[in-house]
Structure 1
């Protein structure tokens, strides 16, 4: 039996092998036939819109697959999301693809939707200028104990160096000379770069700056707990004192430098302290001239650690901070001192019996608007400022104008008010200007001189001659009480101007809309003029009176000014309501 089945089994195995070889040959031919052809297509790019279009040139209906990828090496193109898009030529022979970031290694692959189809890869952005910002946004840096791994989408080889981050300006990283890191490119993956940091001082302000063409980016990845020694710089007289604390014995060096642009230029000699058993060390760095951006570089020399640490005790930012703090202290102290002085002066001034000067109002017109404004002013001065107001229209019986006559009454009131330090306010108007022009003739001048002489002889005699002159004036220009009192005031004022050369205590008052500067005679323009209500604040301050001690005269003047500002605006508004324009 064994002799019969042996040849039969051998024959069966031979037939199976021949059938398998025939089938394998047929599969290889189909695969080669289907995968050997490539679709004919064109690619058009639009970099500003971050998009491209693929157009397939076919005459029959076929299914084509299109995808974006990153060309990392010649035979490898990594995936891009979305991975694959189907293109049915029956519906449309073209397709638009968009991408978020434009990189030089961005490619497009086009192939038939068949098993093991040959893929055609086109990279249309190789000739475009490299944008470093897109490279940094699509890459990342990983820290290990002795190395840094930088990985990106495209096969780039940036140079790495150390820099010092300025805490006052986070975007500013000062370059550290002779701190280039050794790079080891991964032969298995060209998009990965390894940098050796085994001898780098891992301080939080020490960063790794990667540079590619004209673009660079700083990675500050070191943690606070990685640093092994600490230093402090204290300014002193003509030198800087550096205090260093290290948990292990080590040697350190320090040198002055001046910040210029993106680097700190060394200045002066290098000062070192050797390794010994102590953990606390000191360095003395003298300087001759203090420069605005003078700093100190401190680094460990044994065991050697690359990079230095920067200390700038005289930086402009810190100086401005000190100036701001000092200014705040001075302003706060000044405000407190002013507040305390004000209240002390106010308590002192409260004992001085502050009051307002007495006022004699002389009206120059009998017009209704003028009399209404004068009465409103008299009411405010007497009611709100508690000032003693004298006025012909307000004179009481037994001592008024009708009993004494205009000239004696006016002279008596002027002497009383001026002796008390008061003011004679002549309310001027166009009618007053006309009366003044008529009064200033030759007869009026002689009459004024006689009135002054009579006033000097005595009150009783001047009263008799005053009645006589009043009668002569009335015969020249008949008028009422207002014109008579005005003439008497002008005669008194002219006597002071001619006799003493000054007019202390006299002032002119005009109301807006009722009097202008053209209505004032040339001879009276040297008198103070208060145009109400806009000059009411100055008038209130002028009437404020206090018999203060000469030692406190400044505080009295300051307090009176503040009080005048406080009440003048309110009273000016009140006076405005009584003006004819407001009533209209």
Structure 2
């Protein structure tokens, strides 16, 4: 498909006009030419006048050299092109005039004057034609310049199509050279009045979808319906094309397919090359700009998700150039409203409409507007390039994204109010990079308010439709959310009661950062990871750094840079790196070490591998590190699952040694109250039982049932 900017070259045309006027000076006045014409007309031979040729669609100049042309304000800017003369060349000096017809698009045809001339090229750079229409005293001028100096002295052959004239008027034309070499040629030509064309009347019968044509008494007429294009009236497609000979005093009904503005009635006499009469009665008819106008248009969709481009090609019965903008629908139904997208006008060239940086989606459409009518056309491919689904796990919403193209996706929680759902901070982002294999991406969003929805969209393009997802809490998810909210309330009450007993003294380590690391292989592990993180954040006031809570930051910076930045911050602020271990962690550790038989550690490509590489280097350089702590849940792991190189780290078994872990994170080991120990153990046991019951029920979605009510650090 060709692309570009409509109207390219207009600036050059106006610039040439200014250059030509400044070079030529003031045009020769038409009145001064009348006296010269009276003297010169008898002196020069008059070439034979050629018959009128085919219709001329626009003003133009043809020459046998590279040329440029300009005219005064009474004429449209003519085009100047190099081309061989349409007829046999004239012998210089010569000036020949003939009658032609000017049929510009969307305007009725009118007679015009065609000018042909021949000049010797030696010593001249341009020429000027002056026109004077006698009777109306309408004067105009035309200038033609040679663009480049050419060797040799081939005579100039120039043809101008053409000077518009009223029928029955006489026109005086004079020619002068630039620079003036004393040559002045004048000719006059009478544009004879055209006889009137065939006469007929018509009646529109909308209920029968026909046009009734009546021929008055007299000669028979050949009548038909046609679609008026730029230069000709094209016949209607089968079976609506009919050309009927109607005797005088009779009438005929002609059916049409669509009522469109360019539908016309044409009548002619039966003999060859007869005069024709044409009427286009629906150009100002509002009914011609309704649904039938768009039914007559064929839309060819060439949109591609791989190029992030929407592209459509129009083929229509009428020469339309509608305006195209983006709009989006909520549902796939033709009657559904389409909401406009601001500043989304598509570019158009030769009926090809394109718009770049678009998330091509079946519900992101083009709205074509023409006059007071519009039509919505959506991409013809029913499947989008990406899909998203939503699952609920406790106080966490999990988005499952699959994409066939590299892209970035963003999501944000929102609350529905009056049919609207505006995104709220923070915004979470995940990316499928260029060159990566297709697969599933995941985003975890904490539920802040029961009944929250999620808006998901592509964030790496300029125009994207936001997809609204709301969790289904009508069935079993309602029970899970109720359990999660109840557990959240228990956590809040428990930690508020115990925070006073555990409040650290001034200067204690209660506010130091904790970097929580885990293995991502175990789905049931995620809920306990988030529960432990919430316990540390709300109970001790620790600033917990967890990738599940900082999906936006991880997506923007990358997994490895994010980890190294957090590790450096923990070291500077004397915080703790908390490594949550599981059987899956053991498997990943063996893979990282190079397989079951050992070997050199592999390069790290994810957070867990980078954490192992970081820990391996620190243990080798400085021995046992005090800011690394390893914990595991007794029901998900055993001491034998901890690799030998990691056993020197301080290790805590949960939930049995949870109070010791909390004391260690505070910087000391005070014995907590027995009531706190029992409540903390009971809380974690209930969380683990809830995880086990959901696994038994077949819920395979991941989530964080103990996630914070407001994720920090995003």
State which structure, 1 or 2, has the greater radius of gyration over its C-alpha atoms. Answer: 1
The TM-score normalised by the length of structure 2 is: 0.34
The structure with the greater share of residues assigned to helix is 1
- Give me the TM-score of the superposition, normalised by structure 1: 0.40
